[in-house]
Amino acid sequence: MLGRFRDWFRKRKVHTPAEHSERIALLEIHLGFPILPQHVHLFTKALRHRSIVDNEKYEAHETYERLEFLGDAVLDLIVTEILFRAYPRENEGFLTKLRSKIVKGDTLSDLAKKLKLNEVLEVGHRSTGQGIELSKSVLADVYEAIIAAIYVSQGYDFTFRFVEANLNEFLDIKIIEKKVDNFKSLLMEYTQSEKAPLPEYRVISETGPGHDKTFSVAVYVSGKKLGTGKGKSKKEAEQVAAKDALEKLN
């Protein structure tokens, strides 16, 4: 299936506007390899945020979102293969949990920052200065889109080596392996051990523009507020609230 996706993208019309040459030149420096002229349109699209559609110059399918869809699948496969080789004695559950820690939004946004993708992201004029370039969810999406562009233009083996190099240079998988980040699960286990009702999460407030909201969440058990947390998504805020509750309980 991934092969069919790559073939389809390669048949798309090549469009290399002159105003993007500087952006692509910077991207080549950040990625560490040259981008051939026939592939510039792919990487240009991978850097184009959907706010660009507001200019009525591009359509929605000309943003990074379609490439992000493909890149998500490619990245999952590559990380799965890396972990499969690195942990020959571990079971499926261990590998699944570790993979989820690596391909989650926070980790991918950190990789995007390391590659300075925020410096070459293209946003609409009306959205300039609103902090889109610093949004964790946007940067994670852009990283996946770039992975798709590399896969379509260079093939699986090159993309595998690129991702593997990123993980080796910017992440410590052993630290990630031992990191506890599912505080909601731990809090649920605690309430079950105490024969208490399951935790209930409530959104207290939402602030910020649509593309960069901040959520405040409180967690309750038996009607009593145990913790609060903030995050760029409800899930992130819930994890912070659960961590806060666990720290207070301890």
Question: Which residues lie closer than 8 Å to 64 by C-beta, 6 or more apart?
Answer: 45, 46, 47, 48, 49, 50, 141, 142, 145
If we measure between CA atoms, which residue out of 236, 144, 122, 226 comes closest to residue 182?
A: 236
Structure-token match 């649920």, residue found:
188
- Tell me how far apart the alpha carbons of residues 32 and 89 are, in angstroms, rounded to a whole number: 34
Helix (H, G, I), strand (E, B) or coil at 77: helix
If we measure between CA atoms, which residue out of 72, 73, 94, 74 comes closest to residue 84?
A: 94
Backbone torsions φ then ψ of 95, nearest 5 degrees: -65, -40
Backbone torsions φ then ψ of 228, nearest 5 degrees: -135, 160
Known catalytic residues are 72, 144
* Max Cα distance, the chain (Å): 65
